[in-house]
Amino acid sequence: GENVEQHPSTLSVQEGDSAVIKCTYSDSASNYFPWYKQELGKRPQLIIDIRSNVGEKKDQRIAVTLNKTAKHFSLHITETQPEDSAVYFCAASRSRNDMRFGAGTRLTVKP
């Protein structure tokens, strides 16, 4: 089955700096890669996603890049703000819709 690895497990940045979270996946059949943000005690919320036919996608301060050959994808957050502090999960799924999550990255943005 699919295995998704995520790094780093914790990330601390100063407000205004950029944050990068990286994930790798094992199954070349995976074709959909969402990113979720989960604040303490809250539900996971989709923040951006990318499909395997696209190399990069951007939405305001958030961008995701995908390298299918290397089987890795990354989340980039620019101009970080304290409200960006949360746990971020990458995920990968195939046509069966069996989405697998990475272990998560706890991002702390210091004011």
Query: Is 66 among the residues that bind other proteins (CB under 8 A)?
Result: no
Query: Is 94 among the residues that bind other proteins (CB under 8 A)?
Result: yes
Shortest spacing between CB 107 and other proteins, in angstroms: 14
Checking DSSP bridges between strand 32-38 and strand 19-25, what pairing results, if any? unpaired
Among residues 75, 80, 93, 109, the one that binds other proteins under rule CB under 8 A: 93
Query: Is 57 among the residues that bind other proteins (CB under 8 A)?
Result: no
DSSP-assigned states of every residue in 43-95: --EEEEEEETT-SEEEETTEEEEEETTTTEEEEEE-S--GGG-EEEEEEEB-T
Query: Is 68 among the residues that bind other proteins (CB under 8 A)?
Result: no
Query: Is 27 among the residues that bind other proteins (CB under 8 A)?
Result: no
Interface with other proteins (CB under 8 A), residue total: 24
Please, what sign has the CA dihedral across residues 43, 27, 49, 110? positive
The residue assigned the tokens 């069996």 is 98
Residue ranges in contact with other proteins by CB under 8 A: 31-32, 34, 36, 42-46, 49, 51, 89, 93-104
